[in-house]
Amino acid sequence: MIKFPKDFLWGTATSSYQIEGAVNEDGRTPSIWDTFSKTEGKTYNGHTGDVACDHYHRYKEDVEILKEIGVKAYRFSIAWPRIFPEEGKYNPKGMDFYKRLVDELLKKDIMPTATIYHWDLPQWAYDKGGGWLNRDSVKWYVEYATKLFEELGDVIPLWITHNEPWCSSILSYGIGEHAPGHKNYREALIAAHHILLSHGEAVKAFREMNIKGSKIGITLNLTPAYPASEKEEDKLAAQYADGFANRWFLDPIFKGNYPEDMMELYSKIIGEFDFIKEGDLETISVPIDFLGVNYYTRSIVKYDEDSMLKAENVPGPGKRTEMGWEISPESLYDLLKRLDREYTKLPMYITENGAAFKDEVTEDGRVHDDERIEYIKEHLKAAAKFIGEGGNLKGYFVWSLMDNFEWAHGYSKRFGIVYVDYETQKRILKDSALWYKEVIQKNSIE
């Protein structure tokens, strides 16, 4: 039996566009994900978030489920186009939804944890020069974040400025798999820079408002990279893969600079870094209160002279989830140790960890998702090992509370510990939810 610390924060996570639906209600205007998902060929079978889990109307039932599972905290995100449906135009009706949600959570003694930006950029912001490509996006974001702090600042103990900037920049502007679907590496790095800058400016605004009792941080998706062999060239490939996925975001936040090896590599691809202005890195590296870590998988790479990053992914030996991601709990341990050693002694939270598997409702009306239980258990063991060695890990949020709109994969990938029947919107607690409930109750794993 492995015990967790007494105050360990057990939670689950979701995001607005993935669960809410109600895309035209109470003054909300489209986000880039509405546009992207309605563009032919961008999402699996043309799926959109129009209805999703209909959480906008069913939030009370969903909070009831959270209570049933016994979570201490719930991480959700706020939809920017509900709060500012147009540039500079605040929409109190949109804010009311989150006030109702937070009230419901507090009534049930569940700590609200809010992500300010989980990828649903207002379409109006995109229409003004490409969204995050425009340096004004920083100003728009800070106006939005400040409004959230004014209205909900002290009732939300944990604020997360951004979810996975790697995804909202590289995957969205460089690889093109996510909205807005650009494939331009220079743009990807401009977007990443403005997103990081908006993070720093929002932290500054938060500090100036002196919000009592609440803390602010950022969530990064981190993918440890390992060389395929002991060869020096494979080690170099792993160094670049690490720079690409991890250091490009960790270094500016914790060290106040972009990694030099990556600057050199990238400059050959994108030319001048003229979008980095004086003082930007000071802003990006303003002190935060905690780091959110989203961990799903690792990468193994070998040297490839012809690829942009000089690295080519090779499949690892472990089992894979439905996303095709190799399961590697020991890499979570390596990652946490490395963060502690090289970057920060601040509190860390695993703000997302979980897996998509082929879930089916069986004749007994249940979902026997043993693989997910195994996945979560092994990752919790890795987390516990880190804590046992003195690591400052304060909580763990399963991705996700319930099955939802998995971006470009539509509804074809199920990450939930609660099953959603999209025809009827019926929720069924999977075996993993029942198991997680016991873990929380006992504050330990077997």
> Which residue minimizes CB distance to ligand NCW?
221
Q: Is 407 annotated to bind ligand?
A: yes
352 near ligand NCW, judged by CB under 6 A: yes
Q: Minimum distance between the CB of residue 218 and ligand NCW, rounded to whole angstroms?
A: 13
If one asks whether residue 164 binds ligand NCW (CB under 6 A), the answer comes out as: yes
Instruction: For residue 294, state whether it binds ligand NCW (rule: CB under 6 A).
Output: yes
Member of 29, 299, 328, 331 binding ligand NCW (CB under 6 A): 299
Q: Is 438 a catalytic residue?
A: no
Nearer to ligand NCW, 18 or 214 (CB): 18
The question of whether 164 is a catalytic residue gets the answer yes
The interface region with ligand NCW, picked from 146-154, 224-232, 377-385, 399-407 by CB under 6 A, is 399-407
For residue 151, with 0-12 CB atoms within 10 Å meaning exposed, 13-18 middle and 19 or more buried, which class applies?
A: middle
Shortest CB 404 distance to ligand NCW, Å: 7
Stretches 182-190, 270-278, 289-297, 373-381: which one binds ligand NCW (CB under 6 A)? 289-297
Question: Which residue lies nearer to ligand NCW by CB, 91 or 115?
Answer: 115
Which residue in 325, 338, 368, 378 binds ligand NCW (CB under 6 A)? 325
Among the listed residues 406, 414, 430, 445, the single contact to ligand NCW using CB under 6 A = 406
Contact characters 211-240, ligand NCW, x per CB under 6 A: ----------x-x-----------------
Residue numbers belonging to the annotated binding site for substrate: 18, 118, 163, 296, 399, 406-407
What residues line the site for ligand NCW (CB under 6 A)? Answer: 15, 18, 163-164, 167, 221, 223, 294, 296-297, 299, 325, 352, 399, 406-407, 415
State the catalytic residues.
Answer: 164, 352
Residue numbers belonging to the annotated binding site: 18, 118, 163, 296, 399, 406-407
